[in-house]
Chains A and B, each alone.
Chain A
Amino acid sequence: MTAPADNKPLLDVRGLTIEIDTRRGPAVIVDGINLTVGKGETVGVVGESGCGKSLTMLSLVRLLPNKIRVKSGTAEFAGRDLLKMSKSELRQVRGGKIGFVFQDPMTSLNPVMRIGDQLCEPLIYHRNMSKADARERAIELLRLVGIPGPEQRIEAYPHELSGGMRQRVMIAIGLACDPELLIADEPTTALDVTIQAQIVDLVKDLRKKLNMSVVWITHDLALIAGLVDRVAVLYAGTVVEDAPVNELFARPTHPYTRGLLASIPKLSDERASRLSSIGGTPPEPGRRPKGCPFAPRCALAESVCHERVPVLEPVAGSTGHRVACFVAQRQMMEAA
């Protein structure tokens, strides 16, 4: 359930700051993110579109697009800083120890290569397998992710598969080399709910079998409720709250988290009752407010919120729950 509190975390991201070149000069889009993932732990990273979820994960394997770069911070993976590794070390990590599943399966699979060849590539490269062994393993992987008739499907091109099958192939590629960490970036956003349920089930199952750590990126709070051990809530490029999943849903503390949870319609709601909503919209990169990034939309904002940036600090009276909010921290102190 909660993180095995034993030794060091598998992934330890500290003060990660990413900036982008704009017309008006460099603008910070990810601002000092801290994130840890323990061995065997599943962490959900939640946030709205454009808050920096994908960029954070891409920066870990140094795949940031042009004009976007890491400005500062460290990202230790099994004790080694991913951001400072040599190119050859990095290649061992990419697709080997860290598996990736991207947001859009159609654009991340190579349309002119058979899926079998795409699956075999990392096996031959990272595991030095022979072609025949790699093929054997590829079939096994396709079977593992629940693709019927893997012996035939291995010859298929991506466009011959449905969206759900393509996403499963992506997961199979991510899993190919028994990664210690699987990073899944909105792997089900493009899929239908019934297919989403299949994929979620699959990952839950595999995680247990292979004792992997998983980072699951999504904008759907409901989706991760039954899937992850811990949740980090991102807003405008910063982690605003970080807590064990039960704790987060039972005691959401940051005004943004509370707003998000309240805006999801509940089973118990009257029909057509007013949903509580958060006014306004998230800031665009380069137009971040000076103090707390949520301040312009926050009902609790005080003058200090517009001046200083709150940092992630433990919430009084609970373990492993941290929040970046002046007012919430004060209220919890008073309550405790």
Chain B
Amino acid sequence: MAAEPLIKVENLVKHFVVRLGAFGERGATVYAVDDVNFDIFAGETLSLVGESGCGKSTTGFTLLNLQKATSGKVLFQGENIVSLDEKRMRPYRRELQIVFQDPYSTLNPRMTIGEVVGEPILFHKLATKAELPERVSRLLADVGLPARFAQRYPHELSGGQRQRVAIARALACEPKFIVCDEAISALDVSVQAQIINLLLDLQEKYGLTYLFIAHDLAVVRHISTRVGVMYLGRMAELASREQLFSNPLHPYTKALLSAVPEADPELEKTRQRQILTGDVPSPLAPPAGCRFHTRCPIAMDKCKAVVPEWREVVPGHHVACHAVEQGAAG
């Protein structure tokens, strides 16, 4: 792997203060992202998986400084971008883009597709007004849409087509890095594969780096270089795709992988599932010690009190669990 990471995330924390009760009389803290560390290397696809509400999107948002981090650093080209104000952030905005989940609210309904895709080009002065139509057509062609779509409005497009436009808008600034926040989750099954192929093609063509946030593990296994597993705001495990899927070390990762159904009735019949008991605890009151201890099948006394350390147990394989030995093979 390339030595110098494109993005370095250090001790990133994001807490939300929310008001509870009928009159908002009680304050509480949501521990959305709590002390998360990882690197993203140029040209790779790093996926974040985990259950809903575990902090995947919040990680993506704070990383792009779209939400102010509570503490911690995100280093991009040597600059800690989460400490920048909007004005000083602007030059970096061009290089760091995002694609959202819901294809129905991701485009401004009052703008034509041409305006949506053209706006960032003009704003960042990447082309003149005269060159714009040509640029827009090329971007639309890149995402597999005909040029005449430039005149259309978002409500005239299907979900998959809108998602293509959202990708074209992100590409318009010629970014280095794109966060795909559940970018395919809301699409029809038959359309998902189209968009996955598109993302892969564009990565190859433009040398893009992705942070791919998803909950569908089959898709994640397909497109990732490395995979990070989150649980209740903390990172549980991070490893290359091969290591994570063939040799998961964290008990939560093991349970997660065993819960994913496979499209194969024969295999399903013989497969040993590890069914977790209990529900995901609330991020308003995360358990002390290891946050997984309320559901962990091998939890020990120590787990209830001591937060497991985030360690690299084998080169390239990070895990946070008391039960995993240094140099463990699983």
Contacts and interface: CB of A to CB of B under 8 A. Distances in A.
14 contacts: A48-B188, A193-B259, A193-B260, A195-B280, A197-B275, A219-B188, A225-B261, A226-B262, A249-B264, A263-B190, A263-B193, A271-B241, A281-B159, A281-B161
A307 B121 CA distance: 46
B269 interface: yes
B51 interface: yes
A277 B279 CA distance: 36
Contacts of B192: 263
Interface centre among A192, A223, A259, A269 (most CB of B within 10 A): A192
A192 B263 contact: no
A197 B262 contact: no
Given A201-B275, A269-B222, 18 more contacts: A162-B280, A165-B279, A192-B52, A193-B215, A193-B259, A197-B258, A198-B275, A222-B260, A222-B263, A260-B189, A264-B189, A265-B222, A272-B200, A272-B222, A272-B223, A275-B193, A278-B194, A282-B188
A331 interface: no
Interface centre among B52, B215, B275, by most chain A C-beta atoms within 10 angstroms, is B275
A226 B197 contact: no
B177 to A, nearest CB: 17
A269 B197 CA distance: 14
A198 B273 CA distance: 10
B224 interface: yes
B262 A267 contact: yes
Contacts of B161: 281
B215 A222 contact: no
Interface string A225-260: 111000000000000000001100100000010011
A-B complex: 7 closest residue pairs judged by Cβ atoms: A226-B268, A277-B193, A265-B222, A263-B193, A197-B259, A192-B51, A222-B263
B69 to A, nearest CB: 26
A219 B197 CA distance: 20
Given A162-B279, A226-B269, A279 B194 contact: yes
A281 B258 CA distance: 32
A273 B200 CA distance: 8
Say what secondary structure dominates the interface of chain A: loop
A198 to B, nearest CB: 6
B196 A195 contact: no
Nearest to A282: B188
Given A263-B190, A276-B193, A277-B197, A271 B222 contact: yes
A259 B191 CA distance: 11
A49 interface: yes
Given A48-B188, A275-B196, A277-B197, A192 B215 contact: yes
Contacts of B255: 194
A220 B261 contact: yes
Interface string A55-92: 00000000000000000000000000000000000000
B51 A193 contact: yes
- The winner among A198, A221, A260, A271 for most chain B CB atoms within 10 A is A271
B261 A223 contact: yes
B265 interface: yes
Contacts of B273: 197, 201
A271 B241 CA distance: 9
Nearest to B199: A272
B218 A265 contact: yes
A195 B276 CA distance: 8
A196 B188 CA distance: 19
Interface residues of A, number: 47
Interface in B162-201: 188-194, 196-197, 200
In this complex, the member of A219, A225, A245 whose beta carbon has the largest number of chain B beta carbons within 10 angstroms is: A225
Given A192-B280, A194-B256, A225 B263 contact: yes
B217 A264 contact: no
B193 A278 contact: yes
A227 B265 CA distance: 8
A278 B159 CA distance: 15
Interface in A275-291: 275-279, 281-282
Given A275-B197, A278-B190, A264 B280 contact: no
Contacts of A24: none
B278 to A, nearest CB: 8
Interface in B250-298: 255-256, 258-269, 271, 273, 275-280, 282
B68 interface: no
B30 interface: no
A209 interface: no
Contacts of A221: 189, 263
A162 B128 CA distance: 53
